[in-house]
Amino acid sequence: MNIIDHRLCEARFIPSPNHDERRAPDDLSLIVIHCISLPPGQFGGEGVTQLFTNTLDPEEHPYYAGIAHLRVSAHLLIRRTGELIQYVPFDRRAWHAGVSCYRGREVCNDFSIGIELEGTDDSSYEDVQYTRLNEVIDALLAAYPTLSREHITGHEHIAPARKIDPGSGFDWSRLGTNP
C-alpha cells in the first residue's frame, strides 16, 4: 500500500468536513483502533459514511435521531469486506477520539490517526479486516517515522470511562502489539 499526499492510494476517498489542522503537524505518534456499525449491528450500509459527512438522516432509523447532530470523523474505515474508505487525510486532525488520554497526554486527536473497523464491540472481526489493518499500519509506519507498533491502542484504552471499542472481539495479537 502507498500513501501519497497523506492519502492511502488503495482507499476510496470520501471527504469529511469534520477535521481541522493538527496543533503540531510533526507530532503524529499514535494509531487508535475503533469499531462502528450503523445502524448498530448492521454492516455494509451507508450509515457510517453519512455520519462522517454530516448527511445522516435522523428519520431513516430510530438510532440516528440521537446521533445525527454529531460532528465526528475518522481517517479510515475498513469494512468487513476489506474495502478501505478514507475520510480525512492523515496530516489533518480527524475528530475520532473525543475526550481522551494516552500515557498522560490528553486530546489524542491532536497526535493520532483514527482507524474504524466495521463491527461491534462484542463481535469478532473478519480475517480480511486484520489483513487490511496490518497492511495499512505498515504503510503508515513507512510514511510517518514518528509512528510505531508500540503506540497502537484502542478507543477503549484512551477513553475507558466512556468507550469499549474495538471491544472483546478484537484480537490484539493479530497486530503483534498489546495495548
Output the pLDDT for position 177.
73
Mean pLDDT of 75-82: 98
Digit-coded pLDDT (tens) for 140-176: 999 999 999 999 999 999 999 999 999 999 999 999 7
The answer, yes or no, to whether residue 67 has pLDDT greater than 80, is: yes
pLDDT band for 54, please (50, 70, 90 cuts): very high
Output the pLDDT for position 178.
72
State the catalytic residues.
116
Mean pLDDT of 19-47: 96
Concatenating the DSSP letter of every residue in 132-176 gives HHHHHHHHHHHH-TT--GGGEEEHHHHSTTT---S-TT--GGGGT
Query: Order of strands across the sheet with 30-36?
Result: 12-13, 84-86, 76-78, 112-118, 30-36, 152-154
CATH number 3.40.50.300 given to 3-175: no
Kindly report the pTM of this predicted structure.
0.97
Output the pLDDT for position 25.
83
1 contacts 135 by C-beta, under 8 angstroms: yes
Digit-coded pLDDT (tens) for 106-147: 999 999 999 999 999 999 999 999 999 999 999 999 999 999
Q: Compute the Cα dihedral for 43, 51, 179, 144 and give only its sign.
A: positive
Q: Which three cell numbers stand for residue 18?
A: 469534520
Domain ranges for the chain: 3-175
